[in-house]
Amino acid sequence: MSKKKRAIIIGAGIGALASAIRLAVMGFEVEVFEKNRYVGGKLAQLVVGDYLFDAGPSLLTQPENIEELFEIANEPIEAYFTYTAQPISCKYFFDDGTVVNAYTDIEKFASELENNVGEEGQNLKAYLEQSANTYNDIGEIFLNYSLHKRSTLIKAPIKQALKTVKAAFLFKTLHDLNQASFSKLKTVQIFDRYATFNGSNPYQAPGMLSLIPHLDNNIGAFYPSGGMISITNALYKLAMKKKVKFYTDSLVTQIITENKEAKGIVVNGLTYLADVVVSNMDIYFTYKKLLQQEEVAKKILKQERSSSAFIFYWGINYSFPQLELHNIFFAKDYKAEFNSLFTTKKLYEDPTVYINITSKCEPGVHAPLGKENWFVMVNAPANTGQDWKAFRERYREIIIRKLNLILKIDIEPLIEVEEVLTPVTIESKTASYMGSLYGTSSNGKMAAFLRHPNFTNKMKGLYFVGGSVHPGGGIPLCLQSAKIMSEIVREDYEIIN
């Protein structure tokens, strides 16, 4: 570009940070405006007493998405960010005492299922092979290209994807596909869980979601040194190195438009002009609050919102050798739990409990030696006005009772510090409508195609990134949304570098 164009990004979540880096590398002068005092959105850190917690996302997969940002910026990633592969992606506990270690070594995982569940190891191998094929052929298109651009038909490997697509991926639910793939209910439940990776219901979401286990099992699970906050810190430092300007405590109240073209934003009564405006804000709030397009916002609500979460951050005065970095304590009746999440939208009396403990990987860093930092999460319905104060007390009681039974120790006296995150506070901190963690759910055959694109044909210069737009929520998808968006900008503005 002969003269540098300006780009403004609304919000500083992980998708926004990646977008800022990509646009800066393309030659834009980039400014990022964030309403909070910190960057990273959900990917933040919480400090409570002597304990440090990753406030939101806790699983790192596909670190190559992060590596790519340093490659295009021509910066050595080692100076900013390091990570290690984990031998166990998750440890699963069932109420009858069964325990399954999901080893990232497929042979060991297969043996674990055979010995502890009675599942034939070949069933796992066949499933993960198909998951890899699905990801490499179909996921390649979904995760790297816009589904709403004609140019995708030319650039993307469509023919290979069509060869891979099976009717089961489109017309069976993930649960039905898993039930047909495995002989034991516990194995089915383990792989049904992957619907929750984008806040969906395995009994409604399409079989296409069976590509997700490929990331966790074939590629592997990783731990970033310093915890998940190190991703935010690394990308923020890289963006700063590329001369991106950040403004925190800066609430954007309007996107300025003129003649069907985005011209800039309004922040604290001040106008900032730009050639390109990128919203990392929830797509519903972007239209409702920033563009004041009520009718468009209502259309977005026709899609079912994803689930939310209720999170306890507990500093535990004890060390549990039987626990890993990632742990799942399953509900006995999984279908009833999802019915509660998406149909009745009420508290479920036997929720699946997830516990993340980063002190397992770095003893003495995130918790004092001999103690552990527990990120304790249960899936919760999106906020529709439930009594979350009452839910808090009940969830706490239920979770402690469940853990006491399985771990055979009284947890409550071990809790030294406690903080809580609810769907209401998730919405207020991250502007995620109804506290939905992933925007809309994938509870439908066409859900993937109904997500809002990373651009709009009705407004020149306006683009979208983050979990509420294509391709979806979660760290890998948010990073991919930044890549897809930036490539559309490159095409629209005929940028060569």
For 388-438, the pLDDT digits (tens) are 999 999 999 999 999 999 999 999 999 999 999 999 999 999 989 999 998
Could you give all domains of the chain from N- to C-terminal order, each with its CATH number?
Answer: 6-41+62-82+226-303+451-492 (3.50.50.60), 114-220 (no CATH), 304-430 (no CATH)
Q: What confidence category does residue 370 fall into, taking pLDDT thresholds of 50, 70 and 90?
A: very high
Share of the chain above pLDDT 90, in %: 85
Q: What confidence category does residue 152 fall into, taking pLDDT thresholds of 50, 70 and 90?
A: low
| 259, burial (CB in 10 Å: exposed 0-12, middle 13-18, buried 19+) | exposed
Helices assigned H by DSSP within 76-116: 106-116
Residue 158 has a pLDDT of: 47
- Where is average pLDDT lowest: 60-64, 100-104, 149-153, 444-448? 149-153
Q: Between β-strands 6-10 and 29-33, what pairing exists: parallel, antiparallel or unpaired?
A: parallel
149 pLDDT exceeds 90? Answer: no
Contacts of 12 (CB under 8 A, 6+ apart): 32, 33, 34, 36, 39, 40, 41, 246, 248, 280
Q: What confidence category does residue 497 fall into, taking pLDDT thresholds of 50, 70 and 90?
A: confident
Query: 64-72 and 475-492 are packed helices; what angle lies between their axes, rounded to 10 degrees?
Result: 30
| Rounded CA separation 375/313 (Å) | 5
**DSSP class of 412:** G
Residue 166 has a pLDDT of: 55
Tokens 């209502």 label which residue?
298
For 194-234, the pLDDT digits (tens) are 999 999 999 999 988 999 999 999 999 999 999 999 999 99
126 pLDDT exceeds 50? Answer: yes
125 pLDDT exceeds 50? Answer: yes
| Rounded CA separation 108/102 (Å) | 8
Beta-carbon neighbour count of residue 429 at 10 Å? Answer: 18
Tokens 């771990």 label which residue?
407
- Where is average pLDDT lowest: 2-6, 114-118, 489-493? 2-6
The DSSP bridge partners found for residue 101 are 91
| Rounded CA separation 256/277 (Å) | 9
Cβ-contact 469, 335 below 8 angstroms: no
Q: What confidence category does residue 1 fall into, taking pLDDT thresholds of 50, 70 and 90?
A: very low
496 pLDDT exceeds 90? Answer: no
| Rounded CA separation 132/212 (Å) | 9
Residue 135 has a pLDDT of: 87
For 281-305, the pLDDT digits (tens) are 999 999 999 999 999 999 988 889 9
DSSP 234-291: HHHHHHHHTT-EEE-S--EEEEEESSSBEEEEEETTEEEE-SEEEE-S-HHHIIIIIS
Across the range 178-189, mean pLDDT stands at 98
265 pLDDT exceeds 60? Answer: yes
Question: Where in 306-382 does DSSP place strands (E)?
Answer: 308-316, 326-329, 353-356, 372-380
Average pLDDT over the chain, rounded to an integer? 93
- Where is average pLDDT lowest: 11-15, 93-97, 131-135? 131-135
| Rounded CA separation 295/307 (Å) | 24
Share of the chain above pLDDT 70, in %: 93
